[in-house]
Chain A
Amino acid sequence: MKKTITILLCFLFAAGVLSGCGSTVTNDTVTYKIGVVTPTLSTSEDEFRTAAMMAEKYPDIVKHITLPENFSTEIETAISQITSLADDPQMKAIIVISGQSGLLPALQKVEETKPDIITMTAPIWDDPVLMSKYVDVNLDTDMIGRGETIARKAHEMGAQTIIHYSFPTHLAKEMISQRKNMMEKTANQLGMQWVEVVTPDPQTGDGTGPMLQFLREDIPRQIAKYGKDTNIFGTNCPMYDVIIDEALKEKFMVAEQCCPTPTQAYPTVMGLEISEEDAWNWDKLNQMISEKAAAAGMTGRLGGWPMPATVFVPQYAIELAKQMIEDPGFDFQSLDSLNQFAKDTLGYPVTFSKLKPTEDGPALENYNVVIMDSILY
């Protein structure tokens, strides 16, 4: 690690010196920058590491900054951080990756002052219609579609009941409440029992502690009531440390997490030891989880996406922004070219579709949502 940084620094220094000598070649190849905004490492590892990795891959292009740790109380700082990125004359694209709401005003401001900068979200969760209006390209996982696929998957796994844990500030979000409605509808169609539980709110009270403590107490109660053939879904990522931990004890099912990824909750709860070389090796990680699941007698009862959605979407967004800048003719509105681009750059077959903010309303042209085939451990 230290060596790479040293080499990188030497290289940067050398590049600086060389460009100072009047070598215009380097200046010609890289004349633009992409600003990437993510939460901090402790808030959201995947997004942070992905951006850091991409900054290492394209050191002259990607400029990575982080949002304040205490996002909800320091939203003004977050907004000024984003808008200040636009002050760099070389800045050609700004990508905001946060999975929280309240950052749209920043992108709106960028769009007003520097309309030539490509703005992209991967994702933020403000009102989709407004996002479509003010942001050039919106990327996200297909939340509403997943409402259906998760319920179907749980049904295939043999679940009789679906329990949906959420809290008021999440349920007030359009996407989350629509996904919930879709999940409920599908569950009812498939003849599964639907249970909704509201937890203490981590965004208004004393953080995630009371919410997780409540889950610890409530999950065994619910499983005693509804039996082991129950699928539990929670809308907030930190919930999964407790949900998966309880799943290993109480033997209920978790078809998919809210942000499907092998890196969240599974390594913590299962105590996985991942060596540095295996850091980006998803197959190895999935295999380790499968082994631990089998040891707990949970084969076929836990699931997720083969690679983290929270790595895929940010990585894809950065590659897409690069492509859009380098090849202005690239048709970023066409679903086929988006699907093809995913296969070409990241090697994963995915399905993009356009988001429909309301069930019978028109689709939003620049709001692309993605679904990846999920796996069972």
Chain B
Amino acid sequence: MEVYRIKPPQVIILIFLCVLVGLAYMLHLDLVDLFNESLIKLMMNGVLVLALIPMINAGAGINFGLPVGIIGGLLGLCITVNFRLTGFAGFFTSLLLSVVFCCMLGWLYGMLLNKVKGREEIAGTFIGLSMIPLMNCFWTLVPFQNRQMLYPIGGQGLRPKISLEPYFNNILDNMALAKIGAVEIPLGFIAFFSLICLLLALFHRTKVGRATIATGENEEFSRLSGIDIAKIRLIAIILSTVLAGIGICVYSQSYGFIQLYDEPLAMYFPAISAILIGGSTGRRAFIFEAVLGTYLLQTIYLLSVPIANEILVPEITEILRSLITYSIILYALLHRSGRRLSH
């Protein structure tokens, strides 16, 4: 692994973050509280960002089809809630079911992406977009029995938001929560998140994992070395989809609601911005970049709105949020094509 070099976007974001923290301090916002929340936000969104790594490394581009995996995860969650499984049993069942569904969806998704090699990003975007209306029909027609999930008036179709309160709300957030004064450190959640990071790192050390990276770096060379490119890419895409499914389970338990219908579409841009802010250029991604990027981006989100409300320019946060999210993606695309030209 090459030495991590800090690049212009990180410098800008870091300066911006420092300014925000300074402002928060000056405005007497509760910094300890904000720190506690920033930790939760990191891990809550982190797995969804990690989900991008296998595909980037396999040379299948940034996973703009993240909603595919998210839908698999939502299916797992809904089935668990339908059978009213609570606590850790419920949460781990939902993870298990998500993995199963995501493997199937990821396989289909991977087959499709292998057919459109080189245009995975745009194809992924549209596969994600077209899954949504399909699933909207599914959510309204699926015959679930738990009435807590169904629309109040019609008695058919799932509600847009399903509360996890009676099931496994905040189960990871509160697992082994260590309190040092006002600082709350969710040790259990950190352990869970680290475990996923570790497993992903270990994957990259296996034979398949190394083949994945080789494929991403130089496909022609890998093919000549006897690597089955299509298979390797398929594995990476399935892994990416599975991680997205786990990611949405983790996100939902922290957020408190399962969000159906159009919500998966709101998830992938922030995730992609996060990994790009972390320093990935969409050609090769490291776990460290995902974690750093998520922390920076989510902390900026966390700090900017309360600060803007205090200094009475609330509109600015919206502009900044969109500006950061989209311009970072643009930067990465520019940077990447620049590099390709210079090769």
Contacts and interface: CB of A to CB of B under 8 A. Distances in A.
A173 interface: no
Contact of A198 (B33, B308, B321): B308
Contact of A285 (B136, B152, B302): B152
A270 B301 CA distance: 29
A18 B173 CA distance: 65
Given A198-B315, A216-B256, A263 B152 contact: yes
A274 to B, nearest CB: 5
A208 to B, nearest CB: 8
Interface in A233-255: 238, 241, 245
Q: Give 10 nearest A-B pairs by CB, closest first.
A: A198-B314, A273-B147, A207-B266, A276-B155, A42-B261, A271-B148, A267-B152, A209-B266, A206-B266, A49-B153
Contacts of A285: 152
A168 B318 CA distance: 9
B151 A207 contact: no
Contacts of A49: 151, 153-154
Contacts of A245: 163, 165, 256
Contact of B166 (A41, A271, A279): A271
B163 A69 contact: no
A212 B157 CA distance: 23
A241 B260 CA distance: 14
A41 B151 contact: yes
Contacts of A238: 161
B141 to A, nearest CB: 11
Contact of A197 (B146, B148, B259, B309): B309
Contacts of A40: 136
Nearest to B148: A271
Nearest to A211: B305
A123 B259 CA distance: 27
Residue from B140, B152, B157, B325 with most neighbouring chain A CB atoms (10 Å): B152
Nearest to A262: B152
Interface of A: 1, 40-42, 45-46, 49, 52, 69-70, 167-168, 197-201, 204-210, 212-214, 216-218, 221, 238, 241, 245, 263, 267-276, 279-280, 285, 311
B174 interface: no
A214 B34 CA distance: 12
B114 interface: no
Contacts of B306: 218, 221
B156 A1 contact: yes
B322 A205 contact: yes
Given A200-B318, A216-B255, A269 B165 contact: yes
A224 B156 CA distance: 39
A210 B160 CA distance: 16
A1 B156 CA distance: 10
B35 interface: no
Contacts of A263: 152-153
B337 to A, nearest CB: 25
A241 B161 CA distance: 8
Interface of B: 30, 33, 37, 133, 136, 139-140, 146-148, 150-157, 159-163, 165-166, 255-257, 259-263, 265-267, 269-270, 301-302, 305-306, 308-309, 314-315, 317-318, 321-322, 325
Contacts of A207: 262-263, 265-266
Given A207-B265, A274-B150, 5 more contacts: A41-B157, A198-B309, A199-B305, A263-B153, A273-B146
B165 A201 contact: no
A347 B153 CA distance: 19
Nearest to B33: A221
A168 B314 contact: yes
A245 to B, nearest CB: 6
B166 to A, nearest CB: 5
Contacts of A45: 151-154
A70 B198 CA distance: 39
B277 to A, nearest CB: 15
Contacts of A213: 255, 301
B163 A269 contact: yes
A267 B148 CA distance: 8
Contacts of B162: 268
Contacts of B146: 273
A199 B306 CA distance: 9
Contact of A69 (B136, B159, B260, B321): B136
A69 B152 contact: no
A185 to B, nearest CB: 20
B266 A280 contact: no
Nearest to A202: B266
A346 to B, nearest CB: 16
B95 to A, nearest CB: 22
10 contacts: A69-B261, A168-B315, A200-B305, A200-B321, A206-B269, A268-B162, A271-B148, A274-B147, A276-B155, A279-B152
B37 A217 contact: yes
Contact of B153 (A168, A270, A279): A279
Contacts of B267: 209
Given A42-B140, A218-B305, A273-B147, A200 B317 contact: yes
B80 to A, nearest CB: 15
A248 to B, nearest CB: 8
Contacts of B151: 41, 45, 49
B260 to A, nearest CB: 8
Given A214-B305, A218-B305, A279 B154 contact: yes
Given A198-B308, A209-B267, A279 B322 contact: no
Contact of A273 (B148, B161, B266): B148
A269 B33 CA distance: 25
Nearest to A246: B256
A46 B317 CA distance: 32
A210 B301 contact: yes
A112 B118 CA distance: 51
A271 B165 contact: yes
A221 B156 CA distance: 37
A42 B302 contact: no
A201 B315 CA distance: 9
Nearest to B267: A209
Contacts of B133: 69
Contacts of A241: 161, 163, 257
Nearest to A311: B153
A280 B151 CA distance: 12
Nearest to B308: A198
